[in-house]
Chains A and B, each alone.
Chain A
Amino acid sequence: NAGVMQNPRHLVRRRGQEARLRCSPMKGHSHVYWYRQLPEEGLKFMVYLQKENIIDESGMPKERFSAEFPKEGPSILRIQQVVRGDSAAYFCASSPQGRGNQPQHFGDGTRLSIL
């Protein structure tokens, strides 16, 4: 499967715990984007990363959220001290180039539920 891989597909956490969401981009893609979808809403941009660099984090909440895309391994979206409002579907997308009118291709998402 050469598509964008996200894991886990479902994640349940209690308030105050940490959530780690992983994303492996499509083969040959070095640009990764994270989006969040709340119920009955569209996807909202969170962060754009290239290998070892955060390019645009304008959609990330100021606190508790962080993202990385190390030289080796998947991109990680980390949410510390989760709260009920963090319950959402988190989608990762990748593209071969950062610009140049290339579509972003999405994984199937991680559905995060906070108890």
Chain B
Amino acid sequence: DQQVKQNSPSLSVQEGRISILNCDYTNSMFDYFLWYKKYPAEGPTFLISISSIKDKNEDGRFTVFLNKSAKHLSLHIVPSQPGDSAVYFCAASDRSADKLIFGTGTRLQVFP
């Protein structure tokens, strides 16, 4: 039972354009959502998070949008840079537990 889904395994975007990574979830008890970035042979690096009481959170080039009715969140990166090329994981947690439930990741490639 995959509670957090990232349906696009890969995404290719030109440098300078916007990258949009999507994530869907099924558990309505989730109240905290995070995005992590991961390079090969390294651990996930925290990027940005959002609480369920908000619908948008912005940090520099990164913005996360949350649509609770659709159980959908997205990460926008603008402008995209070659250094953004990595695997991006969406994760969620609920009030009753501290564990994070991860999606399977989307591999972003930003080309010149």
Q: Which residues of A contact B (CB under 8 A)?
A: 4, 6, 31, 33, 35, 40-45, 48, 55-56, 58-59, 91, 93, 95, 98-99, 101, 103-109, 111
Contacts and interface: CB of A to CB of B under 8 A. Distances in A.
A56 B43 contact: no
Given A42-B89, A42-B103, A101 B49 contact: yes
Nearest to A95: B98
B68 to A, nearest CB: 15
Contact of A43 (B44, B97, B98): B44
Chain B interface: which size bin? 20 to 34
A56 B98 CA distance: 8
B44 A33 contact: no
Contacts, number: 63
Nearest to A92: B43
B42 A108 contact: yes
A101 B32 contact: yes
Nearest to B2: A42
Interface in B11-58: 31-32, 34, 36, 41-46, 49, 51
B86 interface: no
A16 to B, nearest CB: 27
A33 B49 contact: no
A3 to B, nearest CB: 9
A43 B6 CA distance: 13
A104 B45 contact: no
B41 A103 contact: no
A54 to B, nearest CB: 12
Contact of A106 (B43, B99, B104): B43
Nearest to A109: B43
